[in-house]
């Protein structure tokens, strides 16, 4: 793997990971809703499951392409 390919993968992975973390946080906040005062009674397993699913979908859709990074998969 050439240095340029390594740089492309590294740039893409960083950009895709940032998007996935943001998506995780957004889904978790949506699932929490107005239960900020009942944090101990929230079904955390469900919330984390949905948030993780959102992060995985975000990573998969990033394979198609990211405006801020070339997709190493497509070679765009």
* 10 domain-assigned: no
With b for 16 or more beta-carbon neighbours within 10 A and e for fewer, the 39-51 pattern comes to eeeeeeeebeeeb
Q: Determine the pLDDT at residue 36.
A: 67
Please give the Cα distance from 56 to 44 (Å, whole number). 18
pTM of structure: 0.80
* 14 domain-assigned: no
Question: What is the domain extent for residue 61?
Answer: 21-67
pLDDT, greater one: 2 or 61: 61
* 45 domain-assigned: yes
Number of domains present in the structure of the chain: 1
**pLDDT, tens digit, 9 for 90 and up, residues 20-76:** 999 999 999 998 887 667 777 888 899 999 999 999 999 999 988 787 776 666 554
Q: Determine the pLDDT at residue 55.
A: 98
């Amino acid at each position: 793997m050439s240095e340029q390919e390594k740089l492309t993968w590294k740039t893409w992975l960083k950009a895709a990971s940032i998007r996935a973390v943001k998506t995780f946080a957004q889904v978790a906040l949506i699932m929490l809703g107005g239960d900020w005062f009942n944090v101990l009674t929230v079904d955390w397993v469900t919330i984390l499951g949905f948030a993780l699913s959102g992060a995985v979908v975000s990573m998969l859709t990033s394979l198609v392409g990211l405006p801020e990074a070339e997709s190493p998969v497509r070679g765009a």
